[in-house]
Chain A
Amino acid sequence: MYIFKNSFKSISRNKGRNILIGIIIIVISCACAVTLSILNAANKIVSSYEEKYQIKASIGMNREKLVESFKESSSGEDMINSFNNIESVTKEEIEKYADSKYVSSYYYTYTLNMNSSNLKEATDSLVKETTTTTTRTETFGGGNYPGRPDGNYGGKRSTTTTKKTEEIKNLKAENGAFKLIGYNSYEAMTDFINGSYTITSGEVSSDFESNTCVISEELASLNNIEVGDTITLTSPKDSKITYELTVSGIYKENTEDSDDMTNMFSASVNDIITNSNVIESILALSDDLNAELNPTFILTSSDVVDKFSEEVTGKGLSEYYQVTNNLSEVESATESINNVKTFATTFLIITLIIGGVVLFVINMINIRERKYEIGVLRTIGMSKFKVISEFVIELLVVTIFGLIIGAGIGSLSSVKIANSLLENEIQNSTSNVEKINSNFGGHMFGEGGPQNKINGLVTIEKADSINAVVDIKVLGELLLIGVGLTFISSLASMISIQRFSPLEILRERS
């Protein structure tokens, strides 16, 4: 008890030095409070982004391995054979990969190209319109279309387009003119989730088992199809193989630039959306039919991406496939926040180092000045531990006062400073996006520009505000920093007191 009493007495006795230490602690804790609250808020934003947009992994072709394999092929035929010999990822394999502690959930999508005996594909009419448009352009003397490599669209060119249309038509018929997409859950239907597609009539069947489908407005309109009608799909390999689906809904694609010429070539109007059960049933009808299976694994956190990838490889994923993820997209969306985090962390480390050194030096001076006191206390039987404790308590009390004041000031200023820092980062980020937009001709994708389509910003909104607050977590961290600083700066007294010989101190004094 007397140790505490002595410590408090010493604090009031050494006012000047303790005020100096207090001011340094206030500055350090204020800086720490600001940086920690920024880090805290930034971490919350990043984790909420990860939670909101999820860290996803999927399995895609390993292009490097494919290229390597093709290079080894002696002829084109070998190349095709080697490509055809690559076994597709099966549903069983996906289930095996999904059985992992790193995966919180998973879904998959089948894609199968089919023809139809009672459906006319929407692309036909649109291509004809395109041809007409280009011919009319020639009448005006060859328009210069922005963004196109060559602005001369003459009559010869329109003839070529018509020929090519025929070729495309035949090729499509061979491969299947309609893309049948089969989802296994609502979660997998990302186009509907992010608003690219909206049901305008009917609904998406909720059981994911029934023989139903949804089709585009254009396809429905062209073929006079309404909800409840039946469409018949045929195999592109064998037209005798058929499968009937009832239309349960009609969707529209929400593109901002409906007049944009690039959309005319989009095949999405011919997408028929159904469930995975339907595709599996169709596949069961013929061995010649091949569907593409795209799994998506929702990972538990961004930290497990590499571990999951290693695990999947370990479970036997073919070398022609690789695990891909959207980590860069999420990171890209939180880039500005991460920049602030890096800055804050660096600032915090520098502050702590400088603060720690200054406090250490002040304490060294303190100990030297109070050497006599230490000598007397040791001589009359106070243990080294108690002498050290007295000095540490003294410093700890000053540190806690400094921390409280510093944290108060820090909490008041943290929001303003954080938002000011973030504002700069957001501006930098925006100018980068504008630069990319300019690289694409500035208006390639119409108003809104490529920031809606490029590098992870497709589905992920940018972080544009930070709500930095000094909360319990920050206060806890501040307390730890305070204790850490006290310990580090007390090291001077600990070491000195250990080494001091009371006899020598008193002899020097005499």
Chain B
Amino acid sequence: MKKNVILKIDNVSYRYKDAKKDEYTLKNVNYEFELGKTYAIKGKSGTGKTTLLSLISGLENKYEGNIFYKNENLKKINLDKYRNTYIGIIFQSYNLLPHLTALENIMLSMDISNLKGINKKEKALSLMESVGLDKSLANRRVLKLSGGEQQRIAIARSLSYNPDIILADEPTGNLDKETEDEIMKIFENLAKKENKCVIIVTHSKNVSDNVDVVYEMKKS
């Protein structure tokens, strides 16, 4: 594995439980991801982009082949710990908890990752600021925020425990062009300034034009 490679997908194949024997969603996928770079995974619908993302994020672990995070096989590590410490996930539909405020959503993530020795509230507010959100929105329930604001909260949440990898599934799919550019700027900064590995699953040409590496997926 190269020096900067943080995640390696090694000959991974996957098919759904109810699929026929040879009907693979993913077949022999081999990718490598490095710190400090942004990646786009492109492809038509049904090519397995989101499936690959769920395998990388450890939400699904029954697949053929191996995925390594820092040389450690995901099949052999605690995936809850992996998700709440090393990897931040951002969804197209944000997946925030609607009954919590913006601040509480970010802080809950820190609680789950068992962060100690920091002022969680201060860190959450600083994260909000870093993703371009006004602090006055901190105590507002997320459902009362716009799509762009919710997505920024989701990004702030994913960064709250300082993971190495940011996985984003169509993060700008529900947003306008202007907001998309702003979000992409945040991702770029995360990779370049904070040395994160940002992996974006997208359909958007604008997104794929603004990343360092593009992986295109085709039907197997």
Contact = CB atoms under 8 A, between A and B. Distances in A.
Contact of B84 (A9, A373, A380): A380
B112 A382 contact: yes
Given A6-B108, A503-B54, A503-B60, A381 B96 contact: no
Interface string A350-391: 000000000000000000000001011101111110100000
A502 B61 CA distance: 12
B81 interface: yes
Interface of B: 54, 57, 59-60, 80-85, 89, 91-93, 95-97, 99, 108-109, 111-113, 157
A2 B111 contact: yes
Given A373-B97, A381-B84, A510-B92, A503 B108 contact: no
Contacts of A9: 99
A381 B87 CA distance: 9
- Interface extent on A, as a size class? 20 to 34
B85 A381 contact: yes
Contact of A13 (B60, B81, B99, B111): B99
A386 B99 CA distance: 19
A381 B83 contact: yes
B165 to A, nearest CB: 13
A382 B93 CA distance: 19
A380 B60 contact: no
Contacts of B109: 380
12 contacts: A373-B97, A373-B99, A376-B96, A377-B97, A379-B89, A381-B80, A381-B83, A381-B84, A382-B84, A384-B80, A503-B54, A510-B92
A386 B111 CA distance: 12
A13 B112 CA distance: 20
A509 interface: yes
Contacts of A375: 95
A9 B111 CA distance: 15
Given A2-B108, A510-B92, A383 B97 contact: no
Contacts of A509: 93, 95
Interface of A: 2, 6, 9, 13, 373, 375-377, 379-384, 386, 501-503, 506, 509-510
A379 B96 contact: no
Contacts of A506: 91, 93, 95
A373 B142 CA distance: 14
B83 A379 contact: yes
A317 B19 CA distance: 77
Contacts of A373: 97, 99
Contact of A382 (B57, B80, B91, B96): B80
B26 to A, nearest CB: 14
Contacts of B96: 376
B59 A503 contact: yes
Contacts of B111: 2
Given A2-B108, A2-B111, A503-B59, A380 B83 contact: yes
B174 to A, nearest CB: 10
**Would you list the 5 A-B pairs with minimal beta carbon distance, nearest first?**
A381-B84, A381-B83, A2-B111, A383-B80, A503-B59
Nearest to B57: A379
Nearest to A502: B59
Nearest to A12: B99
